[in-house]
Amino acid sequence: MPTPDPVQGTETRRHAPGMVACAVCGTESRQPAFRPIPPEQAPDLDMRPGEPLRGSIDRWLQQCPRCGYAAPDIRQARPSAPRVVAAAPFRSLVGDASIPPLCRRFLAWAHVLDETGAMHEAAEAMLQAAWTADDLNRPDLAQAWRMDAVALWRAGPPLEAPQSLRVIDALRRAEAWEAAEDAVSHLRATQPDEDVRRVLVLESRLIEARDAGRHTVASALPPPARRPHVSHHKVGARGPGVFGVVFGWFRRLFGRKG
């Protein structure tokens, strides 16, 4: 490939819309602009957002076409990310043609987060890989990655109640019935607030019925859950609502600059 003019070529790329430089290898590439629309439907019990945000999952992450680094914004990277991206496990992952490309993008981000010590964030990315597998009708991959997400959540700092609910739902969706029942019992023993108890009632009923399907927050909570981006962002005397922690993560993810 010819080397661009060191002055004129750089100037052209700097002003080309959509061109961004990878923080790991420096390669410039055109990445699609993404401006998320707040969800109008209730999220799933594992907090996958409702439409229209739900259907935009293919634009949640960028990926460098040269080194394979993936992130919400590839212009930013942890200091140790280049080492992780250059290592054999990452190279093997991004080159694994048996895994659908979009799934690989989320797995690549999860791998970087895991290797750089961000366990809970890695769990989020792993769960999102499972969501892409759901969309592709690959329950085998979705179940495996949900179990990986649970392992990552449990390997990190202590979980708050909203995250514990997501662990329960991931175990249920992965058909790990006994583990899901144990997780429900453990969370109940902490005497959680009313919203958490409502979700636990629904999860217990689904686990007992061996129902591994998708269900929404609106199935467990009163009508305000149908506008979760409004109702569950409110902060009361006891702090964030039941899903405030999780929605905070989505706000940080989608708050990146384009």
What are the tens digits of pLDDT across the range 231-248? 333 333 344 455 555 556
Which pLDDT score, from 0 to 100, does residue 255 have? 53
Closest by CA to 84, choosing from 68, 100, 96, 73, is 68
Residue 6 pLDDT > 60, yes or no? no
> What average pLDDT does the segment 169-174 reach?
98
48 vs 246, residue with greater confidence? 48
Query: What pLDDT does residue 91 have?
Result: 98
Q: Identify the CA nearest to 169 among candidates 194, 150, 192, 155.
A: 150
> Model confidence at 221, in pLDDT bands (50, 70, 90)?
confident
Q: Which structure tokens are listed for 244?
A: 């405030």
Give the other-Cβ count within 10 Å of 82's Cβ.
15
Rounded average pLDDT over 128-153: 98
- Of the candidates 118, 183, 128, 126, the residue with the CA atom closest to the CA atom of residue 157: 118
Distance CA 95, CA 123 (A): 22
Q: Can you give the pLDDT at residue 60? A: 94
> Is the model's pLDDT at 258 over the cut of 90?
no
> Residue 15 above 60 pLDDT?
no
pLDDT of 36 reads 79
The yes-or-no verdict on residue 37 having pLDDT over 50 is yes
Dihedral in degrees, nearest 10, Cα atoms 194, 180, 144, 250: 10
What's the pTM value of the predicted model, to 2 decimals? 0.84
Q: Say if residue 13's pLDDT is above 50.
A: no
Task: Kindly list the distances between the CA atom of residue 98 and the CA atoms of 136, 149, 174, in Å, as whole numbers in the listed order.
Answer: 13, 20, 21
Residue-level pLDDT at 2? 36
Average pLDDT over residues 106-117: 97
* Distant-in-sequence, close-in-space partners of 53: CB < 8 Å, separation ≥ 6: 36, 37, 38, 39
**Number of neighbours of residue 97 by Cβ within 10 angstroms:** 7
Instruction: Over range 15-22, report the average pLDDT.
Output: 75
Is the predicted pLDDT of residue 150 greater than 90, yes or no?
A: yes
Q: In the predicted model, what is the mean pLDDT of residues 148-156? A: 97
Q: What is the mean pLDDT of the chain?
A: 85
Q: Looking at residue 248, what is its pLDDT?
A: 60
**How many C-beta atoms surround the C-beta of residue 219 within 10 A?**
15
